[in-house]
Structure 1
Amino acid sequence: MSQKITRRDFLNGVALTLGAAITPSPLFAFDEQTNPGKSAKYYPPALTGLRGSHPGSFDAAHSLRDGTFWNQAGKPTDIGEIYDLVVVGGGISGLSAAHYFRKVAGAKARVLILDNHDDFGGHAKRNEFRVG
């Protein structure tokens, strides 16, 4: 440690340190593979399938509008069930309507909630409508 550091050695050391600091590390790419949430391509709704404007999502409603729905759906049959309230839509508004109706009408009130998805939540859950 008794040797003096020359100006050249000092500048070479600084240059080496700066070069190492600005060189991208392959560990950053590894982190993106192990933690996909940090990726710019990460979009959680796409992981379970988007809902909304996929092909076929509006077919039933459009066939009702056009008067052709019952040609393909078949004849409805009465199954004898009676409901006090039928709610169309299992989103936050429909679920709230059903909840508040049962609070007023009592626990024995029969409520049917109809939704075009396989689970409740509506737009608040995961529903994508993309333009273009």
Structure 2
Amino acid sequence: MDRNITRRDFLNGVAAGTGGAMAGSLLPGLDWEALTSSTAAQDQHGYYPPELTGLRGSHEGSFEAAHGVRDGKFPPKNAPALDTKEIYDLVIVGGGISGLAAAYFWRAKNPNARILILDNHDDFGGHAKRNELRANGRMLLAN
């Protein structure tokens, strides 16, 4: 940073950067509207679950019951509650990293506690899990 920069070098650098940015906007195959929209990537169509990959994730059937509760459609009116006789010291909604950490730290303070973790997936980890599967002799990996 102790060297002077000539005006010519400065202008050439600005021109190269500007030209690169302009050329990039002309590249085919990129959905520039989606890239510049205010919608977060995870909220865009096709983001999750990964389509056509066979990896697990949120799927149809995993959220209808919760939406039914939200919308006042489930459980049916006057449906009797089923007493399972189960008692828990802590119920955690969500088996992601935060839910698992909550269970871990609660168990550290209360070694005999009964903890129930509820999740709409068939495995734990939320978005911080690792899925592996084999297809055509190749391992596909998603973290």
TM-score, normalised via structure 2 length: 0.48
| Higher strand fraction (1 or 2) | 2
Q: Which has the higher contact order (CA 8 A, sep 6+)?
A: 1
Distance change (3 Å), C-alpha of 1:83 and 1:89: same
**1:79-112 CA distance string (max 9 Å, x none):** 211111011111110000000001112x211111
Shift of residue 76, structure 1, vs aligned partner: 2.9
Supply the distance in 2 between the matched residues of 1:108 and 1:93 (Cα, whole angstroms): 21
Give SS of 1:56's match.
coil
Distance change (3 Å), C-alpha of 1:57 and 1:82: closer
| Higher helix fraction (1 or 2) | 1
In structure 1, stretches of 5+ residues that fail to align are 1-43, 128-132
Give SS of 1:108's match.
coil
Q: Which aligned runs of 4 or more in structure 1 are off by greater than 2 angstroms?
A: 44-50, 54-58
For 2:74, the equivalent position in structure 1 comes to 69
1:45–1:126 CA contact under 8 A, matched in 2 = no
For 1:82, the equivalent position in structure 2 comes to 87
For 1:122, the equivalent position in structure 2 comes to 126
For 1:33, the equivalent position in structure 2 comes to none
Distance change (3 Å), C-alpha of 1:49 and 1:108: same
Shift of residue 56, structure 1, vs aligned partner: 3.4
Q: How many residues were matched structurally?
A: 81
The share of aligned pairs that are identical, in percent, is 59
Q: 1:103-118 alignment to 2 at 5 Å?
A: 103-105=108-110, 107-118=111-122
Q: CA RMSD in A?
A: 2.7
For 2:38, the equivalent position in structure 1 comes to none
1:102–1:109 CA contact under 8 A, matched in 2 = yes
Over alpha carbons, which structure has the higher Rg?
1
For 1:29, the equivalent position in structure 2 comes to none
